[in-house]
Structure 1
């Protein structure tokens, strides 16, 4: 009875709009928030709506609408829960909130555009249960990860922890790009591989480990070295590329191709006791730099020895690789503050981390000519 009385008061005090008006406002840029549960949105949701279950609205709303003065619209199944949700948002300080009359039932009846989202199976809910408990991920975020395709250049030191943690996180498709064969000296740091596989192609060995770890992920194996002739063709099918190579020439190829394809690039490098991580996405929302803004031209080989030449502490790739995987997941989920425009430097000997700001170079020959709309290459 009290709920009915409160509902009546909310109908009188809160702004209510029709689904047709909500659609017009949405086209004009106003955010529409669907507060139904995952089981309900399995049947569909308004195109472009942000889906935040009513239970997590207060925890997640700032990720969708950080500006309390932004105009918001709230939609549920029939228009009741959205009133309570709108009232709560007003209490949180949001100044302009509308409840959509009739909810999704009215939206569907009016023939307005609807999109369906991937739903998690029972096995996926069990495997990713700890992700589902995180408001910033949840079922919607996990479904997003499962739909993504990530290319990983190199299945060695950095590629090992990156691949394992992305497979564990539920990235739907991993593309492994490498043409090297496993050597016993690799095993000190390349934890994807085992001693009995010495002599095998690294991507074949990696596939065995990853499938044993998470049999549901899809793997694309590219037995090749990435170069200027094949980079765009291979990477063009992916949402992101992660550079785990130990080769500067390859790194520049990855950078140039990712910039031209408008997909984010996660960068990592290691030597002896030190590692670096950054993320480059000149066409992303923050319009950050590209790799060539930081390193315009390849330095002499004498200044950049490989791990085989300089040596590397065996556990260092684990530290840097897990940070790279974390940055990849943050960008794919559009959460947190990725290392775009920042270079993270780690020194294992004194366990120090330094953040260096990186500005986009307005005279960069590579990224300036490729800057356009902030789009994840058509894979939003």
Structure 2
């Protein structure tokens, strides 16, 4: 009894400080330009939220409201499940200096009862919980997470670069991942290709990676293609994807990818490693100013100048770091946020623990994208690389 009285007094005190509006009036004010903030938790909003509302959980309201709405004179309406949390949230906003704050009486229950428009939740309950910390980012949110769920990315190779990139793309919720790799797991791979396991030595890398990814996130569809990119299949295998992640370990594949992504208008997220150093960039033919891979390497270097890992060796953690850079760039491209590594080459020296950024401009004389560049066919690219080796 005493607890009920104390609760009633607490609510009465809050209502004396905070204006309340009925749901229909809140909707009218929303249409006139007020900001409606739904302070319910992510899993509650997954079932639906008022059309036009900003989802911002109560626990993060004070931390994030200024980024979402810096104007303290704008009218703000706060909604929760039943109308109690919104009173607390409205009071908190008043203390922060927001002068026109009201709570929606009855919360989401009253909103639905009034027949007001509700948008279907962008995320179901599992997704809302799984991606909760990522959805908190204003640059992502529920809409961005849903966009990742619809994204299609193709990763070339489940090796040193592909392994970490694949793990984090799947964990982030990329909806469709195509993995192209015809190699098999060897014990010498395991110090750097962390997507595989000792028990899978001898198994195809594509299938081994699929097993790990589906165990990590069963929501992601992983399509495996145990084949090698060649002149006759490169376009067919990568088309219909949003982003191409280059995890190849040979120049022939990279030159094929560079030409195909340019012809298909697809961004290519590039990285390469050797011993203790690595580099990464993004080549995006959708941007007029973007260079291509052949602006960086017009012709393939000789085997002596660019040995692979089996010939030169590699520090196990090195491809992990560069692969994560690739995953980061791919997610940024899918979300349309940040500044991608277009026109920039990021280099890393593990021994010195130094990052450097070099400007990489489009070369008007580039044989791949220059003013007079022509396309003689993928077979010629394979022959060119074979001659260099």
Give TM class, smaller chain.
0.5 to 0.7
Which one of 253, 274, 291 corresponds to residue 277 of structure 2? 274
Q: Secondary structure at the match of 2:352?
A: coil
Gapped regions of structure 1 (runs ≥ 5): 367-380
Task: Report what 2:155 is aligned to.
Answer: 152
Task: Report what 2:122 is aligned to.
Answer: 117
What is the deviation of 1:350? 0.9
Q: Secondary structure at the match of 1:322?
A: helix
What is the deviation of 1:317? 0.7
What is the deviation of 1:175? 1.9
1:137-163: per-residue Cα shift (whole Å, max 9, x none)?
999599656665443222112001222
1:206-263: per-residue Cα shift (whole Å, max 9, x none)?
22444455556431113344578866765565554432223421441464378x36xx
Task: Report what 1:252 is aligned to.
Answer: 258
Which one of 43, 48, 54 corresponds to residue 50 of structure 1? 54
CA RMSD of aligned residues (A): 4.9
Gapped regions of structure 2 (runs ≥ 5): 1-8, 370-389
Conservation of the 8 A alpha-carbon contact between 1:289 and 1:358: no
Which one of 355, 361, 371 corresponds to residue 357 of structure 2? 355
Conservation of the 8 A alpha-carbon contact between 1:242 and 1:266: yes
CA distance in 2, matches of 1:99, 1:254: 55
TM-score (norm 1): 0.67
Conservation of the 8 A alpha-carbon contact between 1:153 and 1:245: yes
Q: Measured at CA, do residues 218 and 241 of structure 1 come closer, stay the same or move farther in structure 2, by a change above 3 Å?
A: same
Q: Measured at CA, do residues 200 and 39 of structure 1 come closer, stay the same or move farther in structure 2, by a change above 3 Å?
A: closer
Matched residue count: 348
Q: Are 1:323 and 2:322 counterparts?
A: no
Task: Report what 1:373 is aligned to.
Answer: none
Q: Are 1:88 and 2:92 counterparts?
A: yes
Q: Secondary structure at the match of 1:179?
A: coil
What is the deviation of 1:346? 0.9
Task: Report what 1:8 is aligned to.
Answer: 16
Q: Secondary structure at the match of 1:269?
A: strand
Task: Report what 1:371 is aligned to.
Answer: none
Q: Secondary structure at the match of 1:302?
A: coil
What is the deviation of 1:176? 0.8
CA distance in 1, matches of 2:86, 2:51: 18
Q: Measured at CA, do residues 251 and 116 of structure 1 come closer, stay the same or move farther in structure 2, by a change above 3 Å?
A: same
1:81-106: per-residue Cα shift (whole Å, max 9, x none)?
44653553455466876766775456
Q: Are 1:204 and 2:207 counterparts?
A: yes
CA distance in 2, matches of 1:341, 1:68: 36
What is the deviation of 1:134? 9.0
1:325-357: per-residue Cα shift (whole Å, max 9, x none)?
345456667787765665432101211112346
Q: Are 1:305 and 2:313 counterparts?
A: no
Conservation of the 8 A alpha-carbon contact between 2:47 and 2:124: no
Which one of 26, 36, 39 corresponds to residue 18 of structure 1? 26
Conservation of the 8 A alpha-carbon contact between 1:181 and 1:199: yes
